Structure 1
Amino acid sequence: METRTKNGDPIRVLDVSSAEYRRAFELFLAGTDEKPITHARLGEIVAALPHRRVLLDLGAGDGRTTAYLGRSFDRTIAVEPSAAMREKLVTACPDALVLPEPLDRACPPEPADLVHLSHVLYYVPVPDWIGTVGRALEWTAPGGTLLVVLQNPESPCMRMAAHFTGVRYDLGPLVDRLRARQSEHDYALETLELHYRTPDLAEAVDVAEFMVNVAEPAALDHRPSRAALTDYVREHFELPAGGYAIGHTQDMLVIRRAGRS
């Protein structure tokens, strides 16, 4: 498979509404073990909830995980500001109440027994993380659980992003701040080992480009070249037996809100 850009070109800025983003995202989903592993853990968390009345998915994306979780709840509320993602979301979750506002303007109509905030904080300035998670915790029913998911800062995926952009995301300091401010809740930071695999170099580079985009390359003075990214993929992700594997370990912050409902 040939790439759609020349090797000397800078890496692309992939807008979530673009065909290029959707193609890269589908390549990633086709090659990763993320869904079966994360869904298995999510299922365990859901089974341990005292109530399963309302699910609130913040930044629900295309609704695949929302639909999986929603099977266990009486009602589903999803927040998704991207029109392109909402189109898929309403198909995947036809019975969900879908709110189109950004998180800082969303007003869910009732508290939820499970609030899911997955891979959203990349798009929130780090100083605002505490406020964003604080609002999500307010939307969590007493005795309910808030899940915050983000790439582990030491995953091969994030080391690559940091190498090219200097950007590094880390839930650890956020957990410390939350514990200091609201110590009555229970906090646990878990790690899930995940991998994307492909036999094809061009596909591996396309997915690596998709991964680097989480660090907003549009804000860089000089975007790295496609050639540099290709060299990085060859050096760090090529397997001895052939093909390529990119680890994208995730951190899952599990916050169990104090109280009973």
Structure 2
Amino acid sequence: METRTRDADPVRVLDVASADYRRVFELFLAGTDEKPVTHARLSDLVAALPHRRVLLDLGAGDGRTTAYLARHFDRTVAVEPSEAMREKLRVTCPEALVLPDRLDEARPPEPADLVHLSHVLYYVPEPDWPATVSRALEWTAPGGTLLVVLQNPESPCMRMAAHFTGVRYDLGPLADRLREQHPADDFALESLDLHYRTPHLAEAVDVAEFMVNVADLAAVDPRPSRAELTAYVQDHFTRPDGGYAIGHTQDMLIVRRAPAV
């Protein structure tokens, strides 16, 4: 009876400060190849920088990627408005200067050679994306690089989110607009092919619920039920070996600022 009741319940709105969010986030990290694949690409981009004085991580979360990048830089500044995430960030990356501000209120102390804005734009209204990323560009030193990371709109993960919520994110139009506004800078948009895998249906559904939370689920009425989400996972993500795999290709907008004249 309890299982049936849970299946009939709507998909949960996961608060980043909650134990439920932390549990499913750890579940996702345990089953995905995201960190090794993205960190390898980040290492290549860092190696190509002319200077590695300052790292600025905007929306640094729990600091795992911040700490990975920070070892290459003299100084690290991390902006993270969530108190729960800042607690983990200070443990993971104790050498960083942590600013507890929203992006539209942050005042980093100096320009950075690498500015990292990863999986943050979900929480910014899309009409505000150009202004948000332009601010990040202002904080990027001449010759430095800005990285903006978001799920690819055609990835299985985002097709699922769009199916249930109607929400679709796409960095392409933003990149085109920014090219027009900043013609002296170099823009590239590339994709990294990533997958979450698990042998367990219940874990796959929990992670699918986490992925669907890229939308503002509190504003979705009615929210899909867990039973509907389970059926979608079984129909779209079942592997021949009986396990489950959810592709979550992510796009990386790479903006290399023009060097100082």
Instruction: For 1:16-55, list aligned pairs within 5 A.
Output: 16-55=16-55
Task: Give the corresponding residue for 1:59.
Answer: 59
- Whole-angstrom CA distance in 2 between matches of 1:207 and 1:214: 12
Per the alignment, residue 82 of structure 2 pairs with: 82
Measured in 2, the distance between the counterparts of 1:135 and 1:4 equals 48
Measured against aligned partners, the alpha-carbon deviations of 1:23-67 in whole angstroms (never above 9, x if no partner) come to 110000000000000000000000000000000000000000000
**Partner in structure 1 of residue 8 of structure 2:** 8
1:258 is the counterpart of 2:258: yes
Shift of 1:260: 3.0
Q: Write the deviation string for residues 209-248 of structure 1: whole angstroms up to 9, x where unpaired.
A: 0000011111112000000000000000000111100000
Q: Alpha-carbon deviations, 1:67-118, whole Å to 9, x = none?
A: 0000000000000000000000000111100000100000000000000000
Alpha-carbon contact 1:3-1:206 (below 8 Å) kept: no
Residue number in structure 2 paired with 1:109: 109
Determine if contact 1:24/1:206 at 8 Å carries over to the other structure: yes
TM-score calculated relative to the size of structure 2? 0.98
Aligned length: 260
Query: Quick one: percent identity of the two aligned structures?
Result: 79
CA distance in 2, matches of 1:4, 1:175: 45
Q: Whole-Å Cα distance in 2 between the matches of residues 86 and 20 of structure 1?
A: 18
TM-score, with structure 1 as normaliser: 0.98
Cα distance in 2, alignment partners of residues 182 and 93 from structure 1:
33
Q: Give RMSD over aligned pairs.
A: 1.3
Separation in 2 of the partners of 1:210 and 1:3? 19
The one-letter amino acid of 2:203's match is E
In structure 1, list runs of 5 or more residues that go unmatched. none
Change in 2 beyond 3 A, CA 1:80/1:4: farther
Determine if contact 1:191/1:251 at 8 Å carries over to the other structure.
Answer: yes
Structure 2 gaps of 5+ residues are none
Q: In the TM superposition, what whole-angstrom CA distance separates every residue of 1:94-152 from its partner, at most 9, and x where no partner exists?
A: 11000001000000000000000000000000000000000000000000000000000
CA distance, structure 2, for counterparts of residue 183 and residue 260 of structure 1: 15
Question: Is this contact kept in 2: 1:3–1:202, CA < 8 A?
Answer: no
User: Which region of structure 1 is more displaced relative to structure 2, 36-45 or 177-186?
Assistant: 177-186
Q: Please list, as runs of the form range in 1=range in 2, the aligned pairs for 1:175-254 lying within 5 A after superposition.
A: 175-254=175-254
